[in-house]
Amino acid sequence: MKADVYTLEGTKTGSIELPEQFNEEYEPDLVKRAILAVESHNRTPYGAMAKAGMGVSAKLSRRRRDYKGSYGKGISRAPRKTMWRRGMQFGWVGALAPGTRGGRQSHPAKPFKIYAQKINIKERKKAIRSALNGSVAKGLMMVVEDKFETVKKSKDLVKVFDKMGIDHEKVERKKAGRGKSRGRSKRFKKNALIILSKKCDVMNALKNLPGVDAVEVNRLNAKLLTLGHDTPRKCIWTKSAVERVSKENLFRGKQ
């Protein structure tokens, strides 16, 4: 299987043979499993404080002669705190127990709960190969010359995208909700994924284009290669990145 190689002006300059990693059969269920494993490691821990709702003295005795006891009062055994006292008469308000105002939760969320999922190494690599084939089969893969990695400014990168017909317009999604306190107050529509052979200047230029991601080829995962859980994503490869997949035999064998 071959792919055309384009210049920064958007014209064809040749072709390149795609490695066998791009020939894997597309399996959306396997890709989804790999994505869920990636997302599980990025989940933010949350839960109640260890002593939440328990910072009150609310002991209530049921013994016959105890001071401040409720024996013979005709009330339940729920813990209560004293609000006022007149001799041996007390004014109580329920506290501490679940169901009382300001009391603890019966079964609160635990911040130490482990949400991380495991996935086999071969299964994870097979999911990446499957996602690669999905972008090829849908015609969403594009290969550009290595000169693309030398672009330093965002405005120059926008001009390159316009000449090559690549969408880079951002679409802001509001109403983040709880995400405002977890570093994702603004969310943007995902556009193209730029796959590079190494760290280079174009990565800094891409930071000013929300929705467009850049990644080294050896750091690819199933989540980056898809939109949602089963939709292939537009991928722009540099020629060196494709050659590196073949040369280093990435995503195959016991690496």
- Tokens 């200047």 appear where? 201
Least confident of 11-15, 79-83, 102-106, 228-232: 228-232
Q: Across all residues in the chain, what is the average pLDDT?
A: 90
Strand order in the sheet with 12-17: 12-17, 2-6, 141-144, 235-238, 193-196, 213-216
Distance CA 84, CA 69 (A): 14
Predicted local distance difference test score (pLDDT) of residue 32? 95
Instruction: Name the amino acid, one letter, at 5.
Output: V
Of these ranges, 73-77, 87-91, 219-223, the one predicted with the greatest mean pLDDT is 219-223
Predicted local distance difference test score (pLDDT) of residue 174? 65
pLDDT class of 119 with cuts at 50, 70, 90: very high
- Domains, the chain, in order of start with CATH, read 2-46+119-247 (3.40.1370.10), 56-108 (no CATH)
Q: pTM (2 decimals)?
A: 0.82
Task: Yes or no: say if 196 and 149 are a contact pair by the CB < 8 Å rule.
Answer: yes
Distance CA 162, CA 179 (A): 32
Distance CA 205, CA 26 (A): 32
Residue 111, CB half-sphere, CA atoms under 13 Å: how many? 8
Distances (CA, A) of 233 to 39, 93, 116, 142, 249: 17, 59, 25, 11, 22
Predicted local distance difference test score (pLDDT) of residue 182? 77
What are the pLDDT digits (tens) for 138-188? Answer: 999 999 999 999 999 999 999 999 998 888 876 776 667 888 887 777 777
